[in-house]
């Protein structure tokens, strides 16, 4: 399973008040790229929290990070700005946008985005808000010939150009070329679509992106079945009521919790063979299947399981020879 966590602002009031969005009414989001802005006092607090981390401590002496790293709102916003908005993030599958007009949407932190394939076959990504009053343009996934704002009917092409702005004939100095959707840097690697919310304007090179995202592990992942030949089956979304690092901590514990929290899974694994290899931006855990009898009862595992974690929060589970989950 590929676990593509959509990181959203985390605090108790937000969790208690979360409501479905109604696309008949505008959601007020900035139409410009959002990069968390912290007050000077919040920045000082966040920096003090970050300074508690000592990267030079041997792993044998490492302890759990302080609770403030998991619950302090200013620290979370600093993470969004420094971790999530300044690097490549996997957001979907290339098979979701195989044909012109196909699109999917998502959210990272405070940023709504839409990814599509335009009429020329190019993969595009934009902030998913109308340039007029910042209403959300698209939801879910599907296929469209254009994006029409549900609030005032402004219409955008798949290349982001503003095609029509309704009832603006009396406005002076209005130039449709100035009001196209704001693009987001987009790249692809293997079966995945990647976005980068940074402000840098340099041209995207997929080869360089692979090195930035995976470091030295591009070939390692490719040779272990993570490639563009994989078929997209479905996407399922779950709301997990926790800070994003709690989920990552669970995934990265080297199978520590597996025999207790996942007894059925553990019965099909040879946990004595469990190993973890660390790279600059990737962690790969692997485990051999159990006895022949357990393999017969658990075809999902096949002969080996591989769990690849890509910084900061993308997870790929490969169960030979059958399944890839992200």
Indicate if 105 and 200 belong to the same structural domain: yes
The reply to whether 315 falls in a domain is yes
Residue 36's pLDDT is: 54
The reply to whether 297 falls in a domain is yes
Give yes or no for residue 46 having a pLDDT over 80.
no
For residue 150, the domain's CATH number is: 2.102.10.10
Indicate if 190 and 297 belong to the same structural domain: no
Indicate if 162 and 308 belong to the same structural domain: no
The most distant pair of C-alpha atoms in the chain lies apart, rounded to whole Å, by 77
Residue 265's pLDDT is: 87
The reply to whether 233 falls in a domain is no
Report the pLDDT averaged over residues 74-97: 94
Residue that is written with structure tokens 């150009």 in the block: 161
Q: In what order do the strands lie in the sheet with 162-164?
A: 147-148, 155-156, 162-164
Residue that is written with structure tokens 């002969």 in the block: 303
CA 109 – CA 107 distance, rounded (Å): 6
Instruction: Band the pLDDT of 275: cuts 50, 70, 90.
Output: very high
The reply to whether 161 falls in a domain is yes
Cα separation values, 285 from 245, 298, 306, Å = 18, 19, 6
Report the pLDDT averaged over residues 141-159: 97
Indicate if 139 and 27 belong to the same structural domain: yes
The reply to whether 18 falls in a domain is yes
Instruction: Band the pLDDT of 164: cuts 50, 70, 90.
Output: very high
Indicate if 79 and 178 belong to the same structural domain: yes
Domains of the chain: total: 2
Indicate if 185 and 296 belong to the same structural domain: no
Give yes or no for residue 255 having a pLDDT over 80.
yes
Indicate if 83 and 196 belong to the same structural domain: yes
Indicate if 143 and 265 belong to the same structural domain: no
Indicate if 39 and 128 belong to the same structural domain: yes
DSSP secondary structure code for residue 193 in this structure: E
Instruction: Band the pLDDT of 21: cuts 50, 70, 90.
Output: very low
DSSP secondary structure code for residue 213 in this structure: H
Sign of CA dihedral 41, 45, 46, 51: positive
Residue 296's pLDDT is: 55
H-type helices in the chain, by residue range?
A: 12-17, 40-50, 68-71, 73-79, 206-214, 218-222, 244-251, 258-261, 263-267, 292-297
Query: Cα 252–258–264 angle (5° rounding)?
Result: 140
Indicate if 197 and 255 belong to the same structural domain: no
- All residues at 6 or more sequence positions from 251 whose CB lies less than 8 Å from its CB, including other chains: 3, 307, 309, 315
Indicate if 124 and 76 belong to the same structural domain: yes
Half-sphere exposure of 18 (CA within 13 A, CB side): 11
| Strands 123-127 and 102-108, sheet pairing | unpaired
The reply to whether 228 falls in a domain is no
The reply to whether 8 falls in a domain is yes
| Strands 275-278 and 282-288, sheet pairing | antiparallel
| β-pair partners for 148 | 155
CA proximity to 29, closest of 173, 207, 149: 149
Indicate if 80 and 194 belong to the same structural domain: yes
23-41: pLDDT as tens digits: 333 333 343 444 555 667 7
The reply to whether 49 falls in a domain is no
Residue 9's pLDDT is: 52
pTM as predicted: 0.81
- From 199, 214, 229, give the residue that closes a domain: 214
88-125: pLDDT as tens digits: 999 999 999 999 999 999 999 999 999 999 999 999 99
Domain limits at 118?
2-43+65-214
Residue 17's pLDDT is: 40
């Amino acid at each position: 399973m590929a676990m593509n966590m959509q990181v959203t602002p985390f605090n108790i009031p937000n969790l208690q008040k979360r409501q479905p969005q109604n696309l008949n009414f505008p959601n007020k989001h900035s139409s410009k790229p959002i990069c968390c802005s912290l007050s000077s006092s919040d920045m000082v607090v966040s920096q003090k929290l970050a300074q508690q981390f000592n990267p030079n401590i041997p792993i044998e002496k490492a302890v759990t990070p302080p609770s403030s790293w998991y619950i302090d709102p200013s620290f979370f916003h600093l993470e969004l700005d420094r971790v999530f908005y300044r690097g490549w993030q996997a957001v979907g599958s290339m098979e979701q946008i195989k044909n012109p007009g196909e699109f999917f949407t998502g959210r990272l932190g405070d940023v709504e985005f839409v990814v599509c394939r335009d009429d020329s076959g190019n993969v595009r990504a934009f902030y998913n808000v109308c340039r007029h009053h910042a209403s959300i343009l698209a939801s879910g996934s599907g296929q469209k010939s254009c994006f029409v704002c549900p609030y005032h009917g402004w219409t955008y092409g798949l290349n982001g150009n503003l095609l029509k702005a309704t009832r603006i004939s009396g406005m002076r100095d209005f130039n449709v070329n100035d009001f196209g959707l704001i693009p987001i840097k987009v790249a692809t690697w293997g079966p995945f679509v990647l976005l980068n919310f940074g402000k840098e304007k340099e041209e995207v090179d997929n080869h360089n992106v692979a090195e930035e995202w995976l470091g030295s592990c591009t070939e390692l992942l490719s040779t272990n079945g993570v490639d563009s030949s994989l078929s997209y089956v479905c996407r399922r979304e779950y709301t997990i009521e926790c800070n994003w690092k709690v989920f990552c901590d669970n995934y990265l514990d080297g199978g520590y919790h597996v025999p207790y929290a996942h007894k059925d899974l553990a019965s099909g694994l040879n946990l004595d063979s469990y190993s973890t290899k660390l790279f600059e931006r990737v962690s790969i855990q692997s485990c051999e299947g159990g006895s022949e009898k357990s393999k017969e009862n658990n075809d999902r595992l096949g002969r080996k399981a591989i769990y690849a974690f890509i910084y900061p929060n993308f997870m790929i589970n490969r169960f030979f020879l059958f399944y890839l989950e992200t």
